[in-house]
Amino acid sequence: MFKKILIANRGEIACRVILTARKMGIKTVAIYSDADKDARHVELADEAVNIGPAPSRDSYLQAEKIIAACKQTGAEAVHPGYGFLSENAGFAKRVEEEGLVFIGPKHYSIAAMGDKIESKKLAGAAGVNCIPGVNDAIETPEKAVEIAKGIGYPVMIKASAGGGGKGLRVAFNDKEAFEGFTSCRNEAKNSFGDDRVFIEKFVEEPRHIEIQLIGDSHGNVIYLNERECSIQRRHQKVIEEAPSPFISEATRKAMGEQAVLLAQAVKYQSAGTVEFVVGKDQSFYFLEMNTRLQVEHPVTECITGLDLVELMIRVAAGEKLPLTQAEVKRDGWAMECRINAEDPFRNFLPSTGRLVRFQPPTQTMFAADMSQLQGVRVDTGVQDGGEIPMHYDSMIAKLIVHGKDRFDAIAKMREALNSFVIRGISSNIPFQAALLAHPKFVAGDFNTGFIAENYGQGFRAEDVPHDDPDFLVALAAYVNRRLLGRAAGISGQMPGHGLTVSEDFVVIGMGAAGHNTAQPARVLDYRAVSGSSAVETGGKTYDICSSWHLGGARIRGTVNGTDFSAQVERGVGKNPLAVRLIHNGTRLDALVLSPRAAELYKMMPFKASPDMSRYVLSPMPGLLVDVAVTVGQKVQAGERIAVIEAMKMENVLFAIADGVVGKVLATKGESLTVDQPIVEFI
């Protein structure tokens, strides 16, 4: 067994590998860029080596620097994680040539299966059913349009070295094929250093189901059941689960056996995943093979009780697999939500900056420890006060739950999301909560088009209907009563002039454009010591009991005898007296006033926001990589104005109306903040 390994990665996967290595008594070496010098994976590792500037191409994609770091620290093996160089056959070969061990498949397996074009050819030659398409690299956007027409729209334009939704577009017409090809090439070059792009037919209404494999150097390959990964947004997985609620036992066995045959054909060693597109009739087609550990590996770990990172390390050290196919378990139901730094209410644009608060839910399961199951686990590479840089992907954490069945897993996930506190940047938690509450998701009735079909016009606060909105009103009144109780108990108040608190309140929901809703609430039987009250509102009574302390971002307790978790924030927006409550993905911003104060509040004039319609604003923090207009230029609606890059994704800004450019307010190469003006129209 190795004494020391280097993790050629960053973020949560680097932390995940370090935890298993620590359990196995193996020393670890982290690598880090200038942007990651204070990152969590650097703190967790036994040693750390700086390998260059923030951009990936200057640091995490520098194979020679990584190998030099191995030599410098005496590391015997390299674990590549996922992304970066994990599926780079040249890197794997280089590691082996230097007398080091690559904790992953052999370079020839990566070359055969990791490249999407070559893997399609190999699978076709082996008689595997493949999706119609052109598997040779395409050189020009004009050629891409010609090929797309030949296959028939819609088509999928994919970077050969792509992954994680990077370098991938779906085109429904010539214009989208032309622009999609160009964007794919640029993203692929920046993210993977390989700009080859190919095209295949986009199968509509498909399910994305993948089989987890593990193989050793003694010729043994087994499959560890499947993962359902159909809940995707822009081809990026959002929620993954194991097992799939869709496929039959016979389909599971057939997919697993076919995946094993493919792996054996390329002498596969280590963990890998064979991805399939599955039709309504459970027919399945080979899509691609990921020759690395997957982001969503924890759900497989939960249902099988296996530590996949440990198996990878043991196999790389020459050990045999410790189990046979017949011994693979499938217990309970696991789900994973990817918690990303993006604003779902602003079309999921990246959100970078300081994590002012990062408080995950209480963990009862832990990475690298398969003895504790049927609970909640958080895999993350960040911590309270950490920075989310613009240079890398948007993942903050992975929230994993394991339940006795699918409904139990959904209930656990909803409760865990309620307790996940993230402040300082936006996250996709409200969107995750909405998905988990959607009747079709709960019923298991979905495909890869689920998000596009149900949230095609974007995601709005109204898309998260609360199952009991009066509870949020009652909770706002309860929180306010607790705050007033403290104020009433402050010593030194003048006799006869101390604060007395009434039982009657009005909860004013602060909606857009001043359209406020006002709902009376009575807080009865308030008890400061026990933290209990009975709140009457909307014709119902809510007995709330909580030990919440007034500065806490989370409030936990019982309502009418049932446990609940919610989040509380005071002084939100432009009103320092407002209270923000978040529960089951729904957010209520409210003022809680006395009845008389509520009457006076009605008379307050509404201050309209300034008119910014003449400006093109940056919708997110990012790097301005191109400004496509000049002063005095006439611009038509739909014309390209600027391109902003953040978290390895290009975002193109288009004019929403005809106009003439009056000023260009930002320059190419500038780092932009949210809502920073880029162009002003006359």
pLDDT per position as a tens digit, 337-372: 999 999 999 889 888 888 999 999 999 999 999 999
Please give the single-letter amino acid code of residue 454: N
Mean pLDDT, residues 51-71: 96
429-437 and 406-418 helices cross at what angle (nearest 10)?
150
Where does a domain end: 201, 223, 246?
201
Mean pLDDT, residues 426-453: 95
User: How is the chain split among helix, strand and coil, in percent rounded to 5?
Assistant: 30, 30, 40
Mean pLDDT for the chain? Answer: 92
473 and 596 fall within a common domain: yes
Indicate the SS3 state at residue 542. Answer: strand
Structural domain contains residue 495: no
286 and 230 fall within a common domain: yes
565 and 637 fall within a common domain: no
Structural domain contains residue 532: yes
Q: Which pair of tokens denotes residue 155? A: 């088509």
593 and 650 fall within a common domain: no
DSSP character at residue 112: I
For tokens 């280590």, name the residue.
270
318 and 268 fall within a common domain: yes
CB-based contact 386:400 (threshold 8 Å): no
CB-based contact 128:286 (threshold 8 Å): yes
381 and 287 fall within a common domain: no
Structural domain contains residue 457: no
Q: Which pair of tokens denotes residue 512? A: 């857009």
Q: Which pair of tokens denotes residue 208? A: 């994305």
The whole-angstrom separation of Cα 114 and Cα 101 is 19
CATH number for the domain spanning 166: value is: 3.30.1490.20
Structural domain contains residue 127: no
Where does a domain end: 151, 166, 201?
201
Task: Provide the pLDDT for residue 511.
Answer: 59
CATH number for the domain spanning 531: value is: 3.30.700.30
The whole-angstrom separation of Cα 47 and Cα 24 is 17
Task: Provide the pLDDT for residue 573.
Answer: 67
Task: Provide the pLDDT for residue 516.
Answer: 67
Indicate the SS3 state at residue 410. Answer: helix
The whole-angstrom separation of Cα 619 and Cα 343 is 10
CB-based contact 238:429 (threshold 8 Å): no
170 and 192 fall within a common domain: yes
Q: Which pair of tokens denotes residue 526? A: 């308030």
595 and 505 fall within a common domain: yes
Query: Radius of gyration (Cα) for the chain, nearest Å?
Result: 27
Task: Provide the pLDDT for residue 499.
Answer: 78
Q: For the segment 208-225, what is each residue's pLDDT rounded down to a tens digit?
A: 999 999 999 999 999 999
400 and 474 fall within a common domain: no
Domain of residue 480 covers: 469-488+501-602
* DSSP states along 20-57: HHHHTT-EEEEEE-GGGTT-HHHHHSSEEEE---SSGG
Structural domain contains residue 151: yes
Mean pLDDT, residues 178-188: 91
606-626 b/e (C-beta count within 10 Å ≥ 16 → b): eeeeeeeeebbebbbbbebbe
How would you classify residue 657: left for phi > 0, otherwise alpha for psi between -120 and 50, otherwise beta?
beta
**Number of helical (H) and strand (E) elements in the chain, helices listed first:** 17, 39
Structural domain contains residue 608: no
CB-based contact 317:1 (threshold 8 Å): yes
- For the chain, the distance separating the N- and C-terminal CA atoms, rounded to the nearest angstrom, is 69
DSSP character at residue 606: P
Q: For the segment 285-298, what is each residue's pLDDT rounded down to a tens digit?
A: 898 999 999 999 99
520 and 410 fall within a common domain: no
Indicate the SS3 state at residue 465. Answer: coil
Residues found in the chain: 682
153 and 184 fall within a common domain: yes
Structural domain contains residue 530: yes
Q: Is the dihedral of CA 630, 631, 636, 639 positive or negative?
A: positive
Q: From edge to edge, which strands make up the β-sheet containing 166-171?
A: 133-134, 197-201, 155-163, 166-171
Does residue 515 surpass a pLDDT of 60? no
CB count within 10 Å of CB 542 equals 22
Angle at 279 between CA 232 and CA 175, to 5 degrees: 55
CB-based contact 154:191 (threshold 8 Å): no
Of 242-251, 419-428, 443-452, 644-653, the poorest mean pLDDT is in: 644-653
Indicate the SS3 state at residue 618. Answer: coil
Where does a domain end: 577, 602, 627?
602
Structural domain contains residue 115: no
Q: For the segment 587-618, what is each residue's pLDDT rounded down to a tens digit?
A: 999 999 999 999 999 888 877 778 888 999 99
pLDDT band (50, 70, 90) for residue 512: very low
Q: Is 288 a residue of the active site?
A: yes
Indicate the SS3 state at residue 294. Answer: coil
Q: Which residues, other chains included, contact 467 with Cβ-Cβ below 8 Å and sequence gap of 6+?
A: 437, 584
Which candidate in 12, 187, 226, 288 is catalytic? 288
CB count within 10 Å of CB 531 equals 18
CATH number for the domain spanning 46: value is: 3.40.50.20
Indicate the SS3 state at residue 596. Answer: helix
CATH number for the domain spanning 432: value is: 3.30.470.20
Distance set, CA 286 to CA 244, 247, 276, 501 (Å): 17, 16, 5, 67
CB-based contact 188:197 (threshold 8 Å): yes
338 and 440 fall within a common domain: yes
Does residue 514 surpass a pLDDT of 50? no
Mean pLDDT, residues 411-437: 96
CB-based contact 157:199 (threshold 8 Å): yes
Indicate the SS3 state at residue 219. Answer: coil
Structural domains of the chain, count: 6
Of 7-11, 34-38, 493-497, 631-635, the poorest mean pLDDT is in: 493-497
CB-based contact 96:90 (threshold 8 Å): no
Task: Provide the pLDDT for residue 492.
Answer: 85
